Structures are given as structure tokens and as C-alpha cells.
Amino acid sequence: MDDLVARIQRAGYGIAEGEADLVIQRLSDSNDAMRLEKALLKLEGVTDAQVNFASERARVSYIPTIVSQADIRRVVQTAGFETVEAAGEFEDVERKAREEEIRQQRHLLIIGLIFTVPLFLLSMGRDFGLLPMALAHAEWLDWVMFALATPVQFYVGWQYYVGAYKALSNRTANMDVLIAMGSSAAYFYSIPVMLGLLPTHHVYFETGAVIITLIRLGKYLEARAKGQTSEAIKKLMGLRAKSARIIRVGLEMDVPVDEVRTGDIVIVRPGEKIPVDGVVIDGRSAVDESMLTGESLPVEKKPGDPVIGATLNKLGSLKFEATKVGRESALAQIIRLVEEAQGSKAPIQKLADQVSAIFVPVVIAIALFTFLIWYFLIPAPLDPGMTQFTRALINMVAVLVIACPCAMGLATPTAVMVGAGKGAELGILLKSGEALERAGRITTVVLDKTGTITRGQPSVTDIVMEMNLAPVTDRGGVEQGLLLDENELLRLAASVEKDSEHPLGEAIVASAGDRGLILSPVSGFRAEVGYGVEAEVDGQKVLVGNVRMMTNRG
């Protein structure tokens, strides 16, 4: 299939491809992700597949005329995993799945602790002589330990048995295989000891329970870490407007932003967020686009100018035609870029995946080799309560559970997710995990505008005045005997700007507040988009604006 696609592309033609974005559940480790990736690539019609363990997302490119999304989901389920389609660009399916996973892991961890803690105390208390003699040698104590260990083994740890079975049925091995083998060896060895079928009298029920509970604690912390890495996506999603005011069949109505269609006429009033991308057809205003461009000053908008969804309309009312909605909007593209960066594999992650793929089989081989060495070659233990078989078994279990590849399989993708997410929070969008990895070797950074490394918020640094500055009369003359000082000029300007939403006006008002100046009430306030503001203060008309405004007013 790949060869056929390549030939068609070399001939100068393209192939219409679809893309499925799936949330994958029940991935145990990066080995599972690689196994699922290979299974998807084997499906005829699939041209590319990427499965990320940390983000639990699968992106599959396919040819719709050959394979359907239902076929893709069927392959995922056959491989032993569950899938949810992330249908809407803003539908937070992933968040709900993560919250459910955290709740489930917390529940199982609590159940595990309830049974494991008393089991561990009884076992260690007996081993170290801390229990009363009558209790330590009671025949029923082993049965109590058995009763405490069984719920942990088959309820708290059932997921590992299921995962191990699915992995082995697909002729592979993952972390679940290690956990199931290690905990089961200790548990099932202890049952014949408890029944008196073996010469030793020491049971190891607590070993399997402690293994499962500690792994469950790690899974709970892992689930929380995965949830925290998607905070950047949540914050980006929170930027968009929840509803839009549109005109349909001559009527003005409020609808959810997801129901806005291309070609709809949208109305935005001052102080409201622009719901979707579009082109202004009526009205003038200034729009705060800092969330996209980093520029602190509002951008003037007039008929024919483009507006971007999630930006803030500051001054006048606008009427515009929606041109890009849903997945096509600028914000949706940004979210998609961040998701792709979080889900992409850096070169170091690909290396870690390759190591993880052979890690589990190698660990199992080493564990079996450890058992054989301790059973056949090491002298018998001096402790009468421990047989050669018991000691060899304990050492084999130790190798199985200590060599868990979770850290290696999770650390690299989590680092990429956290890095890409943190960058998005700070306004830096990363195209891929490889770009993030290579960023560590950057020696020179070139920045093209102010606001990139500064606060992005204007402030008054200096007040420059002409000598003998005085108010101007209505006829253009100067009022004699009324010279303005720096504080009076700032007070007048701030009095007018206190009703303005322009960042420069807010900076002037803040500076007056820092100096403790008392502002006067104003009347006749009026804002001219792209020019400035004017109002009457203490009986005087005060204009605050740019050179164009002052030139127009003479």
C-alpha cells in the first residue's frame, strides 16, 4: 500500500486522506503503544499511525475509500484497548477520560491500602517478633493473611491479569506481564504452604499485595501527571466565547458558538469576545489581539478587515461575516498544533521506545535465570524456615517487580507534553517534540518586536511637557495665568481615560493612582476609534489622543 501511494505521488497526483483522532484507554506502557501502532499500520488503507502513551492519543491517517474509522476502532479493540473518538475540536473527551482514570486509580489504591496495611503489619510483626506469642503461632493467622491478600490480588490487581493476557495473546509482553508474574508467584506459592503441603511454614501473601498496591500508587500518580500535562489545552479552550449573537432570517439571536455556520452575520458589542473568525462588514472598533500576536495595543478594525475568534472587542460594535468556524478557526488550529506537538515523538523518545520493546522479554529471561542460579548453584540457606526453592522464588520475584520499565517509557513523552504545554501557556507554540529537543542547543534568539520579552503591558515612564503649557480656549487662544504642571496634566488625562478600555489609557490612570492624584468626574465622554478620547473635565474640554486627532482638531 505504501509503495502504491508513493508511486501515485511521484506521478504528480494526490490521494484524498482522512484523519482519525482517537483517545486510547488501557495503555499499560510504551510497549503497548508500539504494539497498537504496528497493528494499525498493518491495516490496509492506513498510511500513517502514531500512538502516544503519555497523551493516550492515536492519530491515524487513512484512505477513506479503502478503510473506515469503524475498521480502525475495531483493530484497536481487537488489540485489547478501548477507544473514544475525539469528534469535536473542542469536545473535551480526553479530559473526561483522564478524570475517570484518576477516580478509578484512587478507588483501587484506597482498597489496596485498606487490605495491604494490616496484612503488612501482621506479616512483619510476626517476622520480627513484635506480635504476642499466641498470635504469632496461631494456625488461623495464615488464613487471615490469605483473606486480606485475596481482594488485593484479584480485585485491585485484576487489571494487570487482563493486560497480561491480552499482551500474551498478541505474542508480546508488557509491564502487566511482569506484575502478574511477580505477584502471582508469591501468592500461589503461599497457598500450599498455608495448607501444609510444603515443608516450610512461611507464607508470602504480603509480597504480592505490597507489589500490587505500590504499583497502583505509581499508576495513580502517573494518571495525575498525565492530567496535569493537558492544562495548556484546557486554558486555550477556555479562551473562546461560549455563545455568539447572529442574524438569521432577519432575527437577532444568541446561539452556542458551535452552531455558528460559515456565512452567518455576527454582532459583537464592546467588551465581548469575538466568537469566530470573520470579515468586518459594518462598524469600527479596536480589538485586543494580544492572545494571538503578543501585541499589547488594540488593532483598529473597519469594514473589510479580518477579525479572529477569541480576541476581545474593546470599543465599538462590529458586524461581521463568519468565514472560519469550528476546526477551521485560528484558535482551533493553535490547539491542534499544541496537541500535535504534545503527541509527537522526539528522537530520544523513539530510542526509549525501541529499548522498551525488548526490555520486558529480557527482564523475564533474567528473572528465570536468577531463579535457576539461586536454586541449583547457590548453597542451601541456613535459615530453617526458608527452603532453597523459596529463596530462589523470592529473588526471581524481586527481579520481575524492580525492573518495571514505567519510568523509561513514561518520562520522555511526559517531558515533551509538559514542555509543549508550558510553552503554549507562555505564548510559545512548538511544532513538534523534535523542535523542543533541539531547542536545548540554541545559542542565539532573534526577537522581532517589543512585548515579546517585556511585560506586554504599557506603563507611563516619562511625562514630557512644553514650557509654559496652558489650556486652550474655544477660539484657539491661551488662557492667561493658568499654567499646567506635570501632575495637573496627568490628572486631566487620567480623568478622561478612566472610562476608556484602551491599554494606554489604563496605563495613564494607573500612573495617576500611583501619584495619589484625585480624578475629577467627566461629562460628554466620546471615543474615536484609531484617534483617541475626549470629555469635559472641570468645565474644560480635554482631548487625549494621537497626532492625527490633534491635527484634525487644529
User: What are the pLDDT digits (tens) for 460-486?
Assistant: 888 888 766 656 555 544 454 455 788
Among the listed ranges 12-26, 264-278, 540-554, which one has the minimum average pLDDT value? Answer: 12-26
Q: What pLDDT score was predicted for residue 156?
A: 95
Residue 276, burial from CB neighbour count under 10 angstroms (0-12, 13-18, 19+): buried
CATH architecture of 2-87: 2-Layer Sandwich (3.30)
* Helix or strand holding residue 528 (H, E): strand 522-528
Q: Which residues contact 16 (CB under 8 A, 6 or more apart)?
A: 63, 64, 65
Q: Mind listing the pLDDT tens digit for each residue in 64-95?
A: 878 888 889 999 988 888 887 554 444 455 66
Q: Mind listing the pLDDT tens digit for each residue in 345-380?
A: 667 666 666 676 677 788 889 999 999 999 999 887
Name the residue type at position 81: F
Q: Mind listing the pLDDT tens digit for each residue in 199-238?
A: 777 888 998 899 899 888 878 877 776 666 566 666 777 7
- Mean pLDDT calculated for residue range 296-309: 88
Polymer length in residues for the chain: 554
Q: Which residues contact 346 (CB under 8 A, 6 or more apart)?
A: 412, 416, 432, 433, 434, 436, 437
Higher model confidence: residue 542 or residue 296? 542
Say whether pLDDT at 449 is over 80: no
Domain(s) labelled CATH 3.40.1110.10 in the chain stretch across 458-554
DSSP letter string, 49-76: EEEETTTTEEEEEE-TTT--HHHHHHHH
- Label residues 102-136 b or e (16+ Cβ within 10 Å = b): beebeebbebbbebbeebbebbeebeeeebeeeee
3-class DSSP state for residue 360? helix
Q: Mind listing the pLDDT tens digit for each residue in 137-181?
A: 788 999 999 999 999 999 999 998 988 888 888 787 777 888 888
Query: Residue 34's closest CA among 51, 12, 58, 20?
Result: 51
Residue among 3, 448, 462, 474 flagged as catalytic: 448
- Mean pLDDT calculated for residue range 13-35: 77
In the chain, pLDDT over 90 holds for what percent of residues?
21
Place 191 in a pLDDT band, splitting at 50, 70 and 90.
very high
Contact 485, 554 (CB under 8 A): no
213 grid coordinates: 498496591
- Mean pLDDT calculated for residue range 130-141: 84
- Mean pLDDT calculated for residue range 511-523: 91
142 is catalytic: no
57 grid coordinates: 492519543
Q: What pLDDT score was predicted for residue 306?
A: 94
Which of the residue ranges 200-209, 448-457, 515-524 has the most confident prediction, judged by mean pLDDT?
Answer: 515-524
Which of the residue ranges 141-145, 171-175, 415-419, 425-429 has the most confident prediction, judged by mean pLDDT?
Answer: 141-145
3-class DSSP state for residue 245? strand
Q: What pLDDT score was predicted for residue 551?
A: 85
pTM score of the predicted model: 0.60
Query: Residue 219's closest CA among 260, 159, 304?
Result: 159
Give the CATH superfamily of 458-554: Calcium-transporting ATPase, cytoplasmic domain N (3.40.1110.10)
Domain(s) labelled CATH 3.30.70.100 in the chain stretch across 2-87
Q: Which residues contact 554 (CB under 8 A, 6 or more apart)?
A: 476
Mean of pLDDT over the chain = 81
Higher model confidence: residue 446 or residue 468? 446
Query: Beta 46-52 vs 18-25: how paired, if at all?
Result: unpaired
Among the listed ranges 25-29, 252-256, 371-375, which one has the minimum average pLDDT value? Answer: 25-29
Q: What pLDDT score was predicted for residue 432?
A: 74
CA 283 to chain centre: 38
Say whether pLDDT at 195 is over 70: yes
Domain(s) labelled CATH 2.70.150.10 in the chain stretch across 237-338
For residue 472, give Cα distances in angstroms to 128, 496, 542.
96, 17, 10
Contact 458, 504 (CB under 8 A): yes
Q: Class assignment of domain 237-338?
A: mainly beta
